[in-house]
Structure formats: C-alpha cells, structure tokens
Amino acid sequence: MEIVHTPVLLNECLEYLSPVGEPFEADALMIDSTLGEGGHTYNFLKNYPSLSIIGLDADKVIQARAKERLSEFGERVHFYNGWFQDFYADYPSEYKRPNIILFDLGISVFHYEKSERGFSFRYDEKLDMRLNSSEGESAADLVNELPEEKLADLIYLYGEEKLSRRIARAIVEARNGGRIESSKALAEVIWNAVPANYRYGPIHPATRTFQALRIAVNGELKRLPKALHDAFGCLQPGGKMGVITFHSLEDRIVKNYFRNLGKQCVCPPEVAVCRCGGEQCAELITRKPVAPTDKEVKENSPSRSAKLRVIRKIKDDTPYHLDGVIGF
C-alpha cells in the first residue's frame, strides 16, 4: 500500500510523549485522536513494544488504510470511527484511562491528493471537503447558499483572509450564473477576484479561502475546546497530552487552554476569591511550542507551520471552565 502522508514532528512526539519511566506502567495506553494513515501510531507501536493504542478518525476511508497498515500489531491497536469529541465526551467503559493522548490537527496529505473531495485547489474535483462525507453541509453548500456577508465573515475569521469581502462578492456574482460545484471552478473565481500582485505572492490566493471552508465544513475549531477539556479529563494523572497545530487559530485555543491548566489558580476571572485550592492541574512540558527542524521542513514541506505543545496531568478534578473559550 502506498503511504501518502508523512507524520510531522515524529521524533519530537516520540521523545516528549514517551511512555517510558515513572509513572508509566508497562502496559501503557495511548490514544491517537487523529489517526489518519496511522503514521504516528505505527512508529509509537514500533518503538514501544508494550504500548497499546486506540486510533480515532471520523473518515472511514482513511481509517481503512490505517487498519491495513497497522494489521501487523494485532490486538495492540484498536479503532474508533467517529469524531474525537464524541469519543472523549462518552469515553468507552471497556478501556482503561489513557496514559498518553495525541492530537495532530492537520489534514492528511491523503485528503489533498487522493480523497477526491475538493480539499485542494490544484485539482478539478467535487467541492465537498467533509471528512465524514455522510453528514453535514459540504463546501459547495456553503459557497452557494451563504449570504455574501456571512460568507465574507467565514473567510475572514477562519482563513484570516484580508480580501475576504472582495472574494465573497466575486463568489456571489459567479454563483448567480449557476452553482459552483468544483474546486477548480472556485479557485478560478478567487484567482480572478484578487489584484494581479496578490496572485503571485508566497501562497496561491485561494489557499486561505479553502482553509476557511474546510474548517467550517468540519467544525474544526468548534470541536476543539471541549474535546481538549474532555480528553484531559480522561487522561490518567501523570499522563501526557500533546497537540500538533498548523495555524494560529487552533494554536491559540491550545495555548490558552494549556496555560490555564498550568496556572496555580484556575478559577474563572469573575471569581473574586480562589475556590480551586490553588493547586496546578498540569505541568507545561513545553513552555514554548516545538517547531520542526530545517531538515524536516526541507524534506516534508507540510510540516513548516506545525507546532507541538505538551502537558503532563498532575491531578484529577480540573476546575477550569470553558466559558468564553469556545468562541467559534
């Protein structure tokens, strides 16, 4: 089987999330919250022979590829097909609590190159972008049905695109002549909408709009805060949780959540007197995010914007609230 995706920050994950030493028992359990083609899981299972892993993925197509790749590990690996926030919100009673949790929030290269769901503006594909293609609105639904103002807001908020109003206006004008159904058609609308000097910048002018649509279609930022919170709640005290992010919006959520867990007092701002006892819930293992080496970026360009943050859980009964954090 041809493997399309190269796992990012692999060596760093193996080091920072190692199940070796105190307080880890011999039969540690790890959850790969974003299994993809199984690159991180494969290497953890290879390097740590007593480790077991549960691999989660909302996309049953890519999970089938991972099952084939990981078949040599037998009962050491289990699979869950569904969204990670659903898994952690109702953690299955048949599993013990995990010692390690990994989130790799990037979209697999497989989806851009092989899924034929319109993730990439380089191909002429049906404009879908859903990881689970059996539920929710597609990218085409949003492009063709959202009012201009809401479409512009979406592109600006999730894509941080400064020309969002101009692009949204062009999309609405184009769809008046018929639905925009393909990734190539949408990319051409965006290309023609932006000034000539914007077309030849460091990235394709459609990059941020496509990112925004993908994030909206899959609810990526809406799912993340509660998923992190519930995952941390499932984690064994002494266990470690690592998150790899790829853009500033998701990294900001992770950074703020980890920072609050690492505070001496984690009561909400409106509480005048500390009620949590002033004990930290977690230790920040990475005070600053871990970035890929120049060598990795050269060999695997999708890693260039990756950041890894890792915490260790100190105790249960996390008093930190999510009020005001889920702003998407």
Per-residue pLDDT tens digits for 82-118: 999 999 999 999 999 999 999 999 888 889 888 999 9
Global pTM value: 0.90
Q: How many angstroms separate the first and last alpha carbons of the chain? A: 38
Identify whether 282 is part of a domain: yes
Q: Which token pair is 229?
A: 């919170």
* 5 labeled part of a ligand binding site: no
Q: Which residue, of 217, 237, 255, is where some domain finishes?
A: 217
Examine the domain organization and report whether 150 and 72 are in the same domain: no
Q: Given this model, what pLDDT does residue 20 score?
A: 85
Of the candidates 102, 103, 97, the residue with the CA atom closest to the CA atom of residue 25: 97
Identify whether 262 is part of a domain: yes
Examine the domain organization and report whether 95 and 242 are in the same domain: yes
Q: Which residues is 81 bridged to in the sheet?
A: 57
Per-residue pLDDT tens digits for 261-270: 888 666 666 7
Q: How many domains, the chain?
A: 2
Q: Given this model, what pLDDT does residue 23 score?
A: 73
pLDDT at 14 > cutoff 70: yes
Identify whether 119 is part of a domain: no
* 90 labeled part of a ligand binding site: no
* 104 labeled part of a ligand binding site: yes
Parallel, antiparallel, or unpaired: how do β-strands 307-313 and 240-245 relate? antiparallel
Of the candidates 39, 185, 70, the residue with the CA atom closest to the CA atom of residue 125: 185
Examine the domain organization and report whether 305 and 235 are in the same domain: yes
* 38 labeled part of a ligand binding site: yes
* 86 labeled part of a ligand binding site: no
Q: Which residue, of 217, 249, 278, is where some domain finishes?
A: 217
What is the distance between the alpha carbons of residues 208 and 1, in angstroms, rounded to a whole number?
A: 32
Q: Given this model, what pLDDT does residue 9 score?
A: 97
Q: What angle do CA 59, 60, 62 make, to 5 degrees?
A: 70
Examine the domain organization and report whether 88 and 230 are in the same domain: yes
Identify whether 326 is part of a domain: no
* 39 labeled part of a ligand binding site: yes
Per-residue pLDDT tens digits for 135-165: 899 999 999 999 999 999 999 999 999 999 9
Q: Which residue, of 173, 193, 217, is where some domain finishes?
A: 217
Q: Which domain holds residue 193?
A: 132-217
* 323 labeled part of a ligand binding site: no
